[in-house]
Structure 1
Amino acid sequence: MMHCPNCKSKNIGKIGANQYYCWSCFIEMTMSNGSLSLHQVEEDGTLTSLDDLFEAEDLQAEM
C-alpha cells in the first residue's frame, strides 16, 4: 500500500492516471517512472512543487 512521503499517512486516493491525493495533509502526488512528484494545491487551484523539500530516496514510490 502506498503512503504519503510528507505525513506517512496511508489515506491516499487516486484522482487520475498516475495521480494521487493525500487526504491527511492535502498533497497531490504524480507518479512517473517509479518516482513521485509532490505538489501543494493553492487556493486558486494552481500547484506548487514541493519536490525540493525532499531527498530523492524519499520520493521513490513505495506500493
Structure 2
Amino acid sequence: MLRCPNCNGKDIGKIGTQDYYCWTCFIEMTVTSNELMVHQIEADGSLSSLDDLFTKEERKLP
C-alpha cells in the first residue's frame, strides 16, 4: 500500500494513471520506475517539486 513520504499517511487518492494525492498533507505524488516524485500544488495550479526534501530511499516504493 502506498504511504505518503511526507506525513506517512495512508489517505491517498488516485488522480491519474500514475498520479496520487495525499488528503492529509495535500501533496501530489507521481510514480515513476518504483520511485515517487513529490510535488506541492501552488495557488495557480502549477506544481513545485519537493523531491529535494526527501532522500531517494524515502521516495522509493516498497
| Range of TM-score over shorter length | over 0.9
TM-score between the two structures when normalised by the length of structure 1: 0.95
Q: 1:15: which partner in 2?
A: 15
1:7-46 equivalences under 5 Å are 7-46=7-46
Cα deviation per residue 1:16-45 (whole Å; 9 max; x = unaligned)?
011000000000000000000000000100
The aligned residue for residue 50 of structure 2 is 50
Question: How big is the alpha-carbon RMSD for the aligned residues of Structure 1 and Structure 2?
Answer: 0.6
Fraction of identical pairs, as percent: 56
Answer 1 or 2: higher relative contact order, Cα 8 Å, separation at least 6: 1
Structure 1 alignment gaps of length 5 or more: none
Q: How many pairs does the alignment contain?
A: 62
Gapped runs of 5+ residues in structure 2?
none
TM-score by length of 2: 0.97
Structure 1 segments, 4+ long, off by >4 Å, are none
